[in-house]
Amino acid sequence: MKNIILDVDTGIDDALALAYAVHSPELNILGVTTTFGNTSVSEATRNTLQLLQLLGAENIPVFHGVEETFTGRKPAEKTTWIHGENGLGNAQLPPARKQVENMKAHDFLISTVHSYPNDITIITTANQGNLARAIQKDPEIVHLVEDVILMGGAVTVQGNTTPYAEANIYHDPEAAKFTFQSGIPMTLVGLDVTLKTLLKRSTLDDWRKKDTLLSHFLANMCEFYMDAYAERNSNLNGCALHDPLAVGVAIDSSFVKMKTMSVHVITEGKEKGQTVGKDNEDGNMKVCMDVDVQRFVDHFLSRVCLDS
């Protein structure tokens, strides 16, 4: 089993990633840390606690991240048009019985890395703020983490927030610049691959036929996301499995083909949030360049909607 921490801004595809991870016996989820992006930090925390309850995984502790960017700015507006007012496509879940933990997200990251030296993978599916703060407070941890698998960036393709920038990097480019330069091992799962892995509308009917609380919740939530894209004439024709692919890479890295590159982040001007990559065998991260779409999507679908 691989020990992991998930760092999320739950968020529709974060919710899918959480369900996939909880249902994957290869992964031992030690905790979930939350941040802003798709939603505010408080909403991401609330959504995560409610979802874990629905998944029968309330035992997994949840830790609240900081409510501002690495350089102290207020977060950008949440993306209600794509993730709904509540972050879950306005699909409803019962209130969570369990509370968020008292410890801050970055302190949990530091203490857990020390408890599992060289035996922990951090999967980030949101901005890099929690990880950046953890490394800033305790730089030693960069030598103790097996890998950081991050959904973020767009090295060979256009961005999705601006023509240059992918959302997770755009939300806190200084934090990403800091973690990318920190020396921590990283695997970048960017739009280069995630836009190829789509959930089709027909899957929602399959889920509704299963007729469980989880299957109806997932179908309602993803329908909102698909409608949002369709309304804006997106040619995607489905919903991109951005964050689930990062979990997939943690389970089985053979889903993707990677290349070692030097990647840096632009933090100013119209290219703010752009991830610029250059081939370099001694570079700072592995970048996913291609994905076995069918094998990954089948694997994801076989797990995400299991009964608890």
Q: Which residue numbers are catalytic?
A: 9, 242
- Residue whose structure tokens are 């703020």: 129
Question: Footprint of Ca ion on residues 237-276 (CB under 5 A)?
Answer: 243
Name which position in 7, 9, 174, 223 contacts ligand RIB (CB under 6 A). Answer: 9
The answer to whether 179 contacts ligand RIB (rule: CB under 6 A) is no
- Residue whose structure tokens are 């929602």: 204
The answer to whether 13 contacts ligand RIB (rule: CB under 6 A) is yes
Q: Quote the Cα angle for 292-295-298, to 5°.
A: 140
| Pairing between β-strand 256-265 and β-strand 186-189 as defined by DSSP bridges | unpaired
Question: Footprint of ligand RIB on residues 229-258 (CB under 6 A)?
Answer: 242-243
**Token pair belonging to 205:** 């009917």
Q: From 10-18, 50-58, 93-101, 281-289, give the range in contact with ligand RIB by CB under 6 A.
A: 10-18
Question: From the CB of 196, what's the least distance to ligand RIB, in Å?
Answer: 13
Among candidate residues 262, 288, 295, the one with its CA nearest the CA of residue 276: 262
Rounded CA separation 270/227 (Å): 29
- Do the Cβ atoms of 12 and 224 come closer than 8 Å? yes
Rounded CA separation 63/72 (Å): 20
Beta bridge partners of 262: 278
Question: From the CB of 270, what's the least distance to Ca ion, in Å?
Answer: 24
For residue 231, give Cα distances in angstroms to 205, 240, 265, 291: 20, 16, 31, 28
Site string for Ca ion, 14-53 (x = CB under 5 A): x---------------------------------------
Question: Footprint of ligand RIB on residues 145-174 (CB under 6 A)?
Answer: 151, 160, 166-168
Name which position in 125, 179, 187, 274 contacts Ca ion (CB under 5 A). Answer: 125
* Contact footprint for Ca ion (CB under 5 A): 9, 11, 14, 125-126, 243
* Contact footprint for ligand RIB (CB under 6 A): 9, 11, 13-14, 37-38, 125-126, 151, 160, 166-168, 242-243
